[in-house]
Amino acid sequence: MTRLILPLLLLLVLVTPAWSAIEISAPGQQQIPLALTVLQPLDGGRNPALAEEFNQVLSWDLELTGLFSRIDPRAFLADAGRLGLLSIDVDFAEWRLLGAEMLIKGGYSLRGGQLVVEARLFDVRARRLLNGRRYVGKPGDVRRIAHAFADQILKSLTGSLGPFSSRLAYISDQSGRKELYLMEVDGHKPVRITNHRSIVLNPDFSADGRRVIFTSYRAGNPDLYQRDIFSGRESRLSARRGLNVGGRFAPRDDRIALTLSKDGNSEIYLLDGNGGISKRLTRYWGIDIDPTWSPDGDRIAFVSNRRGNPHIFLLSTDGGDPQRLTLNGKYNVTPAWSPKGDWIAFSRKEGSLFDIYLIRPDGSEERRLTFGPGNKEHPRWSPDGRFLVYSSDESGRKAIYLMRADGSGSVKVSGGSGNCNHPAWSPRW
């Protein structure tokens, strides 16, 4: 019982208006000079390690956003060492002197197995509080609290929450077999959640974030499984002859788009929540695979070789003829429709290497996001559409990377031994 985590209780919410609307994916934008101070003890008990961990987690998240330039903490003056969480107590003149426009301060107390973190975001020029949160949890929750505050900082500055409290699912072979894992967005706390001792592939989250679907060869055929993440309950949703692969939950309900080859050829189907076939979407003798939903659930993008090479096509879920989307390249696969609906990410093989591209759903503005050595594949969007997760073998083994939606700021997040691929970004956790 003691190992159970008391849920974070957000006791105090200081409602604040958005600072200004900032488009995070806009390249070359000006960065906001930010001072991130270390949490101070709210009462007598000091725990420098805890304060440092909060600082590191928050710092990593904010770095990924690309929104901030950081004031060197070595230049900090007296106010950085004072608790002073009310705007009247903050020496804003001192922070202006250092060039800071944004200031993060906070305090913590750790008492009787309860962790309290008070976190504040101040606008230095306006000398006012932008966002204040009080988090109550267990000592082990410090990472979750830091991620949650990072989400709030983005909300204050851009109007929409960040994705740092969500999770990444991915496939790793570190146990010797390909199994499904979950980890935090920054790659910490990886947890293996399947033990099929077979081949597990290609996870996707349900809209409520509580379930994952994936393909596994556990019963000798590539079948589609569904697993409740929290209870661990697992069932086989589709075990039709041949392929049951590439399952993708609909954005708002439990329908699943996937590829079946029960009639001897791979076609895109829709399943209902119980695994029954509700619709067949494609009829073509070649390969149809890799469906992804538009956020309104009205359309599907998928991969077909009906024009010879694998290209991306769009199709209404009401039926009709597929429309070709990608005209360039000779090998375009693994489309992923953005949560805002404005882009479709995919990977293209040019020569012998895969890189990640974006294209508008009307076929315009195609752009390449990744360059350099290695294969970059399997792009998937963060729930807020700001970031992409993908796999790359640029460091030798396949690993999971994040980058901003404009291709900047790429960073490896998966660690450990083995190969990691097939990432999927959960909805808000």
Partner 1 sequence: MKKVVVMQWIAVVALCSLLAVGCAKKPAAQQAPAEAPVETKVAVEQPTAVADQGVSESSVKEQVPADIEAVARQLQRIHFDFDQFSLSAQARDILAANAALLQANAGVKVRIEGHCDERGSDEYNLALGERRAIAARDYLVSLGVAADRISTISYGEEMPLDPASNEAAWAKNRRDEFKAVR
Cα separation, 254 vs 229, whole angstroms: 16
Residue 105 or residue 311: which is nearer to partner 1 going by CB?
A: 311
Cα–Cα distance, 224 to 60 (Å, whole number): 35
**Residues near partner 1 (CB under 8 A), total:** 53
Q: Does 72 bind partner 1 (CB under 8 A)?
A: no
Q: Which stretch binds partner 1 (CB under 8 A): 112-120, 154-162, 188-196, 399-407?
A: 188-196
- The b-or-e profile of 25-52 (16+ CB within 10 A means b, else e) is beeeeeebbbbbbbbbbbeeeebeebbe
CB of 245 to partner 1, least distance (A): 5
| Selected binder of partner 1 within 20, 195, 323, 328 (CB under 8 A) | 195
Residues in Cβ contact with 130 at an 8 Å cutoff, skipping those fewer than 6 apart: 16, 19, 102, 121, 122, 123, 156, 157
Q: Does 306 bind partner 1 (CB under 8 A)?
A: no
Q: Which stretch binds partner 1 (CB under 8 A): 12-20, 105-113, 187-195, 364-372?
A: 187-195
Binding residues among 329-388 for partner 1 as defined by CB under 8 A: 331, 333-334, 347, 349, 352, 354, 377-378
| DSSP reduced 3-state for 53 | helix
Which CB, 98 or 287, lies closer to partner 1?
287
Of 267 and 406, which CB lies nearer to partner 1 in the complex structure? 267
Name the residue nearer to partner 1 (CB basis): 4 or 88: 4
Amino acid sitting at position 156? S
Q: Among 88-96, 156-164, 216-224, 359-367, which window interacts with partner 1 (CB under 8 A)?
A: 216-224
Distance CA 4, CA 123 (A): 37
Coil vs helix vs strand at 7? coil
SS3 percent helix, strand, coil of the chain, rounded to 5, is: 15, 45, 45
Is 243 near partner 1 (CB under 8 A)?
Answer: yes
Position among 17, 28, 264, 373 found at the interface with partner 1 (CB under 8 A): 264
Distances (CA, A) of 395 to 63, 190, 423: 21, 20, 17
Contact segment (CB under 8 A) with partner 1 among 97-105, 151-159, 189-197, 404-412 equals 189-197
Alpha helices in 6-75 (DSSP H): 48-65
Q: Distance between CA 56 and CA 64 in Å, rounded?
A: 12
Residue with tokens 């209902």: 272
- What are residue 201's DSSP bridge partners? 215
Q: Which is nearer to partner 1, 102 or 344 (CB)?
A: 344
* Minimum CB distance to partner 1 smaller for 46 or for 192: 192
Do 90 and 61 meet the contact criterion of CB atoms below 8 Å apart? no
Q: How far is the CB of 57 from partner 1 (least distance, A)?
A: 18
Applying CB under 8 A, which of residues 231, 283, 318, 373 lies at the interface with partner 1?
231
Examine residue 192 and tell whether it contacts partner 1 (CB under 8 A).
yes
- Give the one residue of 303, 356, 388, 402 binding partner 1; rule: CB under 8 A: 303
Quote the tokens at residue 141.
């929750």
Q: Name the minimum Å distance from CB 364 to partner 1.
A: 24
**DSSP-assigned letters across all residues of 198-244:** SBEEEEEE-TTSSEEEEEE-TTSS-EEEEEETTT--EEEEE--SS-E
Applying CB under 8 A, among 203, 246, 383, 385 the residue interacting with partner 1 is 246
Q: Which amino acid would we find at residue 410?
A: S
Residues that bind partner 1 (CB under 8 A): 1, 3-7, 178, 182, 191-193, 195-197, 199, 201-202, 217, 220-222, 228-232, 242-243, 245-246, 259, 261, 264-266, 287-290, 303, 309-310, 331, 333-334, 347, 349, 352, 354, 377-378, 421-422
